[in-house]
Structure 1
Amino acid sequence: MPVPTDVTYPPLDTLKPVAPDVWIVDSGPIRPGRLALPVRMTVIRFPDGSVWLHSPTRWDGKLQQEIAALGPIHFFVAPNVAHWTYLKDWQAQVPGASTFAAPGLRERPQVKASGVRLDHDLGDAAPERWRDVIEQVLVPAAFGFREVAFFHRLSRTLVLTDLVQSLEPDTLPLTTRLFARATGVAAPNAGPPAYLRLALRLGGAPTRAAVERLHALAPERVIFAHGGWFERDGAQALRKALP
């Protein structure tokens, strides 16, 4: 896992190659409540040259230029009900891109009040626009949690958001360090935070079936939004983090 400095994983707000046609963008820290968390976007280029942004991080003009050099941005993805905050800024800069959102996101009062545009709802089957490139799995859980996971077939890269987290405690401010340890996501541990583990456990058979689908993909690497991600031995690491 890469080692962060000052909570985040610099250089920030710039493309970092991961695999053929796959990049990440490290950003943050974001500050939900009194926490300070690193956050990550994943960028995938399709065979036709169009570009797909998963969990967009803060907009930056230089970053947009870097991404535009890969190809035209056609898709924004909000993969769960928590990762949508920067969508409106990106939409203002790339108004022709379509936004795909996790189930339930458009019902959230704060989303309605924000004025963000959600064009399509994601489901368990990938939209026709990317089904030949990316496979997707809707992971349901209790308390209304839904996260859509994405598997880039060519590179065998699994893209998650909050289902797995791994925060390096030595880089975190005290409140966030205590949160990471209390919720079980302080590295070298990796997995869902305690509140999400409970929701997954209470999700029953549909949740277990979705998680098993993720394991069946046998990814080579697993990218997620918060903390050190699995650059290698992805299938083994995922099985340990999300049994």
Structure 2
Amino acid sequence: MGDNIRLLIRRLLRGPKLATGKSVTIEEADSKGHPIVQIPEFTLEEAIDKLFDNRKKVALENIGRLSSCPTWDVQILYLYDEIRQCIIFGIYGTAIILCAIMIEFTLKYAIFSKRKKENVDFDSEAWKEFGGKMTLRLAIEAAKKEKLITDEMAASLHSFATDIRNNYSHFNIQAITKEYYFKDLPVLNAETGQNEVRDIPVDFTPGFQILAKSLLDGQTVWKLFEFADKVVRHLLPHIKEAA
């Protein structure tokens, strides 16, 4: 059976909770009366209302922690808005990828601005050629050479490229969750009905890796947004000089 919107809504309502096991094991536990938590049935409208209520709680918790955008530059402002919208509603994985995009874009934008500072008008064709040829790592080294960033910031950017940008862009979930495990996880013994407590590494099942990533995203996004904001604010004066 394929996926559909109703199943998506059920997963969103479920949140970061997961029961894993063979279908026969779950059926056996259910047949013996062991507690199996299930999502109640809702109409689609009821489910969406409940989902919006959940998202509203997240939004109210997150909105006060967000930095303002330090510029009216339309491209950077757009990226800030997209990132902040995702964070407000708890869509952290997407926000992380957008933070990576903003860092790379702003870095290249600052280099381009400095090299083209004699031009008053923005040259879209020159930017297209410039941006298309320069990778992130080349941009980091170019920015260091142009004295736009310090050696310390360059090292931080290289670390970001390896640990965050590459892993998230390629959905390398093994690398993202490699040091994570679930401690004191309750495990139901289907035969006895007894709950056991175990420490389980996330590579026990792909479902655990997805769950771990969802939890880690909520921690990573704040650190990365803070870092992205720091990079933008550092580079912005160089962009303004060439504006």
Q: Which structure's residues are more often helix, by fraction?
A: 2
Query: Is the radius of gyration larger for structure 1 or structure 2?
Result: 2
Q: Which structure's residues are more often strand, by fraction?
A: 1
**Relative contact order higher in (CA < 8 Å, ≥ 6 apart):** 2
* TM-score over 0.5 for the pair: no
